[in-house]
Amino acid sequence: MLVTVLMSVYNSGLYVEKAIHSILAQTYTDFEFIIIDDGSTDNSKQICRGFMSIDSRIVFIENEKNLGLAASLNKGILQAKGKYIARQDADDFSAPDRLEKQLSFALENEHIDLIGSNCYVVDLYGEIVWKDDTFSKRDSSENEIFEQKALFPHGSAFLKKSKLIEAGLYDSRFYYVQDGEFWKRLIANGAQVAVLDDPLYYYRATPVACPKRGQAKRLYNNVLKLAYVERKPAEVIDSELDSIRNYLAGEVSKPQAYYMANYWKSLGNTAYINNRGTRICFNYIKKAVKETNSLTNYIRYMFLLMVYVIPPERVQYLLKFKPKT
């Protein structure tokens, strides 16, 4: 078998059905689809079991407790029959010809070990915010990872299973940025990377209610620098990772104020910067207005609505313009 699609699921009941549908409807059909439920407490397991009963390509595994994404993926990799592993995240979805195009490229370029793709960024409801074609323009180097820039969406990865095993699988100590850490090791071990121009993946931008998540990602990225740039000894790295684990296990922080309103506003800004038209920008601000808000936010929305009628390239020019002194 050439391809194993691998997806870990944790409390993704709102989105996992679309993710599974997008894989089962691929134009390339000869694959196995390993789905691992990582201790979900919502209806994710029931949805996955329902698909397993109607499609024999699905192999469904249930973890007794939540192990984290890295550990769950490692379990699936070791069981996979395919020469290539195609990742899929449970809250995203793939274009119908994704596997066909990535496999074709892999077979025509045997020296390439890791393949990603550009993507469409979509909102909570699956509506396209913008087309992100920046990934194929990056240099796929270690520096990109250290600058906290994703080489491509993790779920779009298509790579050789043998290279995964050779590099030592995912590091389960990384609850976040496990893909950046692993790509770093792959590149350090001589892996060749390619990113396809076609947007074969739909990456769902979701709101961040808890500030801990963003801080934890920053801490993990700092560990990457300590390990691979400053070459700190293993005991220092272990100590830093223990500190982050304790931080995540500590008291749950309160949700950020107005986080849903800020989410819709950020999508409006993203759509505007990427020239998606005033209509989609206005729609996101309307959604933001309907959320719990502060008076300050309403003033910002009025300002943005005025800005959105200006061609974005003009605003970008003004932001870059520096008067002579």
Q: How far apart are CA 38 and CA 203, in angstroms?
A: 21
Helix (H) or strand (E) holding 130: strand 128-132
Write b or e for each residue in 158-194: b if 16 or more Cβ atoms lie within 10 A of its Cβ, otherwise e: bbbbebbeebebbbebbbbbbbbbbbbbbbeeebebb
Residue type, 287: K
Q: pLDDT for 260-316, tens place per residue?
A: 999 999 999 999 999 999 999 999 999 999 998 998 999 999 999 999 999 888 877
Q: How far apart are CA 185 and CA 171, in angstroms?
A: 10
Both 312 and 167 in a single domain? no
- Is 254 part of any domain? no
Both 140 and 85 in a single domain? yes
Q: How many CB atoms lie within 10 A of CB 252?
A: 9
Both 157 and 227 in a single domain? no
pLDDT of residue 211: 81
Both 48 and 115 in a single domain? yes
Q: How far apart are CA 38 and CA 65, in angstroms?
A: 6
Q: How far apart are CA 8 and CA 170, in angstroms?
A: 13
Both 135 and 46 in a single domain? yes
32-41, 77-86, 222-231: least confidently modelled range: 222-231
**Local confidence band at 325 (pLDDT 50, 70, 90 cut-offs):** very low
CB 264 within 8 A of CB 287: yes
Q: pLDDT for 16-74, tens place per residue?
A: 999 999 999 999 999 999 999 999 999 999 999 999 999 999 999 999 999 999 999 99
Both 173 and 292 in a single domain? no
Both 160 and 277 in a single domain? no
- Is 325 part of any domain? no
pLDDT of residue 196: 97
Both 44 and 96 in a single domain? yes
Both 242 and 199 in a single domain? no
**Number of domains observed in the structure of the chain:** 3
Query: pTM for the whole thing?
Result: 0.92
Q: Choose among 252, 271, 151, 253: nearest CA to 205.
A: 271
User: Which domain, by its residues, includes 218?
Assistant: 211-249
Q: How far apart are CA 218 and CA 239, in angstroms?
A: 16
CA atoms within 13 A on the CB side of 8: 19
Both 244 and 279 in a single domain? no
Both 306 and 193 in a single domain? no
Tokens (6 digits) for 273: 């910067």
- Is 83 part of any domain? yes
